[in-house]
């Protein structure tokens, strides 16, 4: 369960940084760079999702 919170906190910070970068460079957004920054964010959200479901599966047994 500790990894769930670690992934969630890290991902929220990473997502906030991506949103800040997109807002601060609004006039010259490079979509490929934004996509490259969003890939680790999506991976961390997926890892948090999987860690949460492992916890739920262990509670059921």
pLDDT tens-place string over residues 4-60: 888 899 999 999 999 998 898 888 888 888 899 899 999 999 998 888 877 666 665
Residue 57's SS3 state is: helix
**How many angstroms separate the most distant Cα atoms in the chain?**
53
Confidence (pLDDT) at 34 = 86
Whether 61 has a pLDDT exceeding 60, the answer reads no
Confidence (pLDDT) at 31 = 85
Confidence (pLDDT) at 14 = 92
Q: Using CA atoms of 45, 32, 24, 22 in order, give the dihedral in degrees to the nearest 10.
A: -30
Can you tell me the distance from the alpha carbon of 31 to that of 37, in angstroms, rounded to the nearest whole number? 10
**Measured in whole angstroms, how far is the alpha carbon of residue 58 from the centre of its chain?**
24
| Total number of domains in the chain | 1
Confidence (pLDDT) at 27 = 83
Residues spanned by the domain of 42: 2-60
Task: Look up the pTM and report it.
Answer: 0.75
């Amino acid at each position: 369960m500790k990894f769930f919170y670690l992934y969630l906190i890290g991902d929220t910070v990473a997502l906030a940084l991506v949103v800040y970068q997109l807002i601060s460079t609004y006039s010259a957004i490079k979509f490929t760079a934004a996509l490259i920054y969003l890939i680790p964010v999506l991976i961390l959200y997926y890892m948090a999702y999987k860690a949460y479901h492992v916890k739920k599966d262990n509670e059921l047994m």
